[in-house]
Structure 1
Amino acid sequence: MRFNKLDLNLLVALDVLLTERSITRAAERVHLSQSAMSASLGRLRDYFDDELLVQVGRQLELTPRAEVLREAVRDVLVRIDTSIAAQPQFDCTTTDREFRLCISDYTMELLVPRVLSLAAGQRSTARFKLAPQASSPARALERGEADLLVIPKAYCTAEHPMETVFTDEFVCAVWSGSSHVREGMSFERYAGAGHVVMQPVNTDQPAFESWFVQRYGLSRRIDVTTYSFAALPFLVVGSELVATVHSMLARDVAPALPITLLPLPLPMPTFEQAMQWHKYRSLDPGLLWLRGLMRQAAKDLQSAD
């Protein structure tokens, strides 16, 4: 099929070439021979009158024209996938669909087990791929790399629909043998303590609590940085360190650890965890089912809290 003399089948080849920046890897992804993918690249270069991919050292780099095309081509393919290729109905008991979720380990520990239990109760055959939070959440949606994001509401983009899933508060987790327990957690003590903080991988964007503390104007002494929310309460044991932890997560692990949970001595707002999906997939029957599971799981989580 052609549009403006362009074979539309080449759009798939162009998308994967611009993503992988490798003829070999692109060919493997779409199950073509390397020679066939090279031929597709040649035809694309002729059509756009541009090299698209150029050799720089040992790797291929995108030309300026290719950079412009990359997001536009992905957007077109996502529209086709969601508008034409999507199934009009969804049966969770017979589906072979894999749902890709970008989530933190905090959400994975608290919410996902309830989601999986609800799915099992419906005898679902759906599969779930849980990936770390993306460095650019909106791009993960727009490139079709994620079906659903579960991220702080403050980090959601205005370009796509979102819905608050559940809310939480923050507490200070400290070792039960620390001076913080004996003397209490004042603002001055909190400000002067060594802190354990979570820093998301592959991004300079801080976790929500660090983001808010910075906006509050407090500069903490960061002694330990980890990539895991769930690790925070464990890392204060045996020390004078302080971890600012989501309260539901902290209470979940506190019975197994020699830690004490203290009120946070600064007015941090309620934390809102949201789910976000691509605007073209608002009526996707499979995602409607998954979002329903998320709502029920969140309801069960907060009622149990």
Structure 2
Amino acid sequence: MRFKKLDLNLLVALDALLTERNVTRAGERIFLSQSAMSNALSRLRQYFDDELLVPVGGKLEPTPRAELLHEAVKDVLLRIDTTVAAQPEFDPRTSDREFTMFVSDYSMEVLIPRLLALASQQGSRVRLRLKPQVAHPYRSLEQGEADLLIIPDIFCSPDHPQELLFEDHFECVVWKDSPLAVGDMTIERYMGASHVTMKPTDEEMPVLEKWFTVSQGLDRRIAVSTYNFGAIPFMVVGTDLIGTVHSRLARRVLPAIPVVLKPVPLPAVSFHQTMQWHKYRTRDPGLVWLRGLLHEAANHLDDPLDAGAA
């Protein structure tokens, strides 16, 4: 099919080329040979009268025109995919649809088990693909790589819908034999100590530092950074380090390791966990079902895991 003399199949090739920035990998992505993909690139260059991809330091980089085209092409292809894939009804008992969700290890521990329990009670046959959080997670929605994000509200994009799932606050975790375990955790003691924090693998700044920098104007001394929230309470044992972690996560491990919890000596150190999806998929019956189930799971976060509905 052609539109204004452009073979629309070339849009799929253009998206693959600009995503992979490599002719061979782009061909593999859409099941074309290297020669066929090279031919597609040549035709695209001719149509747009632009090189689109140029060699820079041994790799291909998009031209300014290509950068502008990529976002528009992604948007068009996602609209088509959403329209074609949409089903008028969704039954989790018969569907084997796979949902891709980006979640932190914190949500994996406190929220996802309840989601799975609820899905099981409904006799659901759907599949979940859980992927780790990344920098700029909304891009995963726009590139069609995720159906749903479960992220703090400060990371949400203003361009797509979001809903609050639950709130939590942070607590200090310290080794029970550390001097920090005795007495109040004052702001002076907190800021004078060394800290363990969580830093995603592709982020420049640890997650909590964004809160402290933006809302409090504080700069903590980070002695250890890890990619896993759940590891932080274990890392303070035998040290004078402070770990600042979600209350629900901290209280899960409290009976198992020699640590004590202290209030964070700062006002309003809390966060809002939200879910976000692409604006074109708001009425997707499958996502409507999944979002409803997540809300129900969030409502039972503080129940025993084997109790009733959650």
TM-score with structure 1 setting the length: 0.95
Match of 1:6 in 2: 6
Match of 2:158 in 1: 158
Q: Does the CA-based 8 Å contact 1:212-1:268 persist in structure 2?
A: no
Q: Deviations over 1:121-148 (max 9, x none)?
A: 2222222111121211221111111111
Q: Does the CA-based 8 Å contact 1:102-1:150 persist in structure 2?
A: yes
Residue 54 of structure 2 aligns with an amino acid whose one-letter code is V
Question: What SS does the aligned partner of 1:230 have?
Answer: helix
TM-score with structure 2 setting the length: 0.93
Match of 2:116 in 1: 116
Match of 2:27 in 1: 27
Match of 2:198 in 1: 198
Match of 2:99 in 1: 99
Q: Does the CA-based 8 Å contact 1:170-1:268 persist in structure 2?
A: no
What's the CA shift for 1:176? 0.8
Match of 2:308 in 1: none
What's the CA shift for 1:303? 4.3
1:137-152 correspondence runs (5 A): 137-152=137-152
What's the CA shift for 1:221? 1.6
Moved more, 215-224 or 144-153: 215-224
| Percent identity between the two aligned chains | 59
Are 2:128 and 1:128 equivalent residues in the alignment? yes
Match of 1:87 in 2: 87
In structure 1, how many angstroms separate the alpha carbons of the residues matched to 2:184 and 2:85? Answer: 59
Question: What SS does the aligned partner of 2:301 have?
Answer: helix
Question: What SS does the aligned partner of 2:240 have?
Answer: coil
Match of 1:180 in 2: 180
In structure 2, how many angstroms separate the alpha carbons of the residues matched to 1:302 and 1:161? Answer: 26
Instruction: Specify every segment of 5 or more residues in structure 2 that has no aligned partner in the other structure, as ranges.
Output: 306-310
Which aligned runs of 4 or more in structure 1 are off by greater than 4 angstroms? none
Match of 2:270 in 1: 270
Instruction: Specify every segment of 5 or more residues in structure 1 that has no aligned partner in the other structure, as ranges.
Output: none
In structure 2, how many angstroms separate the alpha carbons of the residues matched to 1:167 and 1:249? Answer: 13
What's the CA shift for 1:120? 2.0
In structure 1, how many angstroms separate the alpha carbons of the residues matched to 2:98 and 2:164? Answer: 23
In structure 1, how many angstroms separate the alpha carbons of the residues matched to 2:85 and 2:261? Answer: 50
In structure 1, how many angstroms separate the alpha carbons of the residues matched to 2:298 and 2:240? Answer: 34
Q: Does the CA-based 8 Å contact 2:100-2:147 persist in structure 1?
A: yes
Residue 212 of structure 1 aligns with an amino acid whose one-letter code is W
What's the CA shift for 1:94? 2.6
Match of 1:16 in 2: 16
What's the CA shift for 1:205? 4.3
Moved more, 61-70 or 181-190: 181-190
Q: Deviations over 1:145-164 (max 9, x none)?
A: 11111111122121110001
In structure 2, how many angstroms separate the alpha carbons of the residues matched to 1:55 and 1:266? Answer: 51
Residue 211 of structure 2 aligns with an amino acid whose one-letter code is F
Q: Does the CA-based 8 Å contact 1:16-1:26 persist in structure 2?
A: yes
Question: What SS does the aligned partner of 1:16 have?
Answer: helix
